[in-house]
Structure 1
Amino acid sequence: MGERLEPSQWYASLPSFLSSASALITDPSGGSVLAVKPNYRDHWNVPGGIMEAGEPPHLCCAREVAEELGFELSLGRLLVVDWVPPTELRKAWFGFLFDGGVMDDPSRISLQSEELEEFAFVARTDLRSRLTANTADRVEAALLARKSGGVAYLFNGAVVQHASPKVPRPT
């Protein structure tokens, strides 16, 4: 039998992950998604960002939206969880996407100039030309989840389909 580790040592030996939390915000028609253009990347993204140590996803999302767009968001339910495998550059990634509702007055946006260049409402048909493929997959899954009332679980941008086994209920 191996040496037993103290809880702090055992927890320190476990793998760690990166996580982000973002908001799906649409125009009143629901056909266009609010996207922001970071000044440190070529591609666009949806409002949100990296979770701080110990920060829950929903609070991260609200904080990041307030920082990036300059207003407090009444955050809705979780729409998507996406697990993205590690690369040579980074650890594995959990991406959470929450329902940020509908924005009928874009003049409320006060863009954070330290990180963002501009914002735009992007038509669903143009998502793939502005966002990375993985982010576009996540946004498309979120739009469907918003409509269906469900939550999408993605693996690297692809919806994971699970057969629901029939589990007998206790009588």
Structure 2
Amino acid sequence: MTSPLRPDDAYPYLRAASAGIRHHTRSLASPDAAPPQRTDRRHLDVLHAHLTALLQLLDRLAETARPPYPAAGRHLATAHTCLWQATSEVHSAFHLLPADTAAKEAEASACHPERLPEGPPVLTICQRHLAAGHVLRRKTTPTDLRPHATACAR
């Protein structure tokens, strides 16, 4: 006889990712912890990668929920759009931070990262952002991308 799975057990990778975010958030907010690390481009790049993965998950959930439950699909699509806006802001913040000293040293060295097939390592966030934006624009209109507020129906 098998016991029913708890909702958390059905999606172990998502649970692990959520636990990692909670741990990181607690470590930054803890008053007795080491001084918080300053936000750098690498930190925002990893956060952007996580957000774009969540965009893909929400997109798939909205697609599967829409046929049998159109209202739920619309709400998931709205969540997808709001998450895109957050992802876009993280991308913008990435470009406003000063470049990492390691990136500056790589530019000065004889190595030419721009010749790599995947492009310069610093610009992988841009490639990821453009790919996510391309998927988003195929499924939404410019009106959908405007900020909006939704109210809970409960």
Range into which the TM-score falls when normalised by the shorter chain = under 0.3
Which has more helix, going by share of residues?
A: 2
- In our comparison, the structure showing a higher alpha carbon Rg is 2
Which has more strand, going by share of residues?
A: 1
User: RCO higher in 1 or 2 (8 Å CA, sep ≥ 6)?
Assistant: 1
**TM-score normalised over the length of structure 1:** 0.24
